Amino acid sequence: METITTEQLAKTLELHRKWLKKEPGGVRADLTGANLTEANFRHSTCTGANLSKAVLFNADLTSADLRHAFLTSANLAAATLIGANLKNASINGADLREANLRETELGHVSARNADLSGADLSHAQMRQMDLTGSHLTGAVLSHANLLKAEMGEVDLRWADLTDAALTHALLHDANMTEADLTRTNLTRTNLTRTNFTDANLREAKCANAVLVGANLSDADLRHADLTGADLTGGSLNGAVLSGADLTGAYLIRTDVTGVDFTNVRTAGARFE
């Protein structure tokens, strides 16, 4: 693995800048597999650069322009990407454990099977991001925008999604055990067969959500909005629903063992 010096990196980025501007002598940056541990990319323009399999451990990419960049299988563990723009980039299979991605632009990014465990994604823009099969255990996604994101089979155990927006997202077969979804917007989200055991969904917005076969055992759903939600074949065993709104919801073949429906609105709900 080649270690890139500060001088070599500066030259590579300058040639890349010229390539983007179609100036004479410009060369697209190809840092595939390079050792860039703790490298400084602050405010750098890396649009379309190839950083696949590069080691960027603890690197500083604050406010870097990484649109359309290739970071497939790159090591970005503990890297700082605050305010960076990765729109339409590829980070499939990348290691982003404990990375700082606060306020990062991740719209339309492909992050299939990426490891974002413990990463800080608070206030990140993640619209239509593909996170299929990725690991986000213990990640912070508070106030993140995940509109229409693809998150099938994602591991979100112990994650913080407080005030996050997941409207119209595909979140089927995910693991959200003990996750914090306080005031999270899950309106019209596909949550089929997702595991919410012991999760906190207080004041969550789940109107018209698809929760077919979902496991909400022992979940805290106090004051949650579940109007029109489809919980067919799911489980609410031991869940706390005080103040929740289940108006027009579908609870056909749903396990409601131990549920206290006192102070729960159920007008028009179907239980058979």
- What one-character-per-residue DSSP string does 88-102 give? T-B-TT-B-TT-B-T
Average pLDDT, integer, range 229-239: 97
Distance, in Å, from the CA atom of 219 to the CA atom of 226, rounded to the nearest integer, reads 14
Q: What is the DSSP letter of 194?
A: -
Residues sharing a CB contact under 8 Å with residue 80, sequence separation 6 or more, in sequence order: 59, 60, 61, 62, 99, 100
Average pLDDT, integer, range 173-183: 98
Q: What is the DSSP letter of 6?
A: H
pLDDT at position 272 is 77
**3-class SS at 173?**
coil
Q: Which pLDDT band, with edges at 50, 70 and 90, does 13 fall under?
A: very high
Distance, in Å, from the CA atom of 136 to the CA atom of 127, rounded to the nearest integer, reads 17
Mean pLDDT estimate for the chain: 97
Q: Which pLDDT band, with edges at 50, 70 and 90, does 3 fall under?
A: confident
Q: Is the pLDDT of residue 1 over 70?
A: no
pLDDT at position 104 is 98
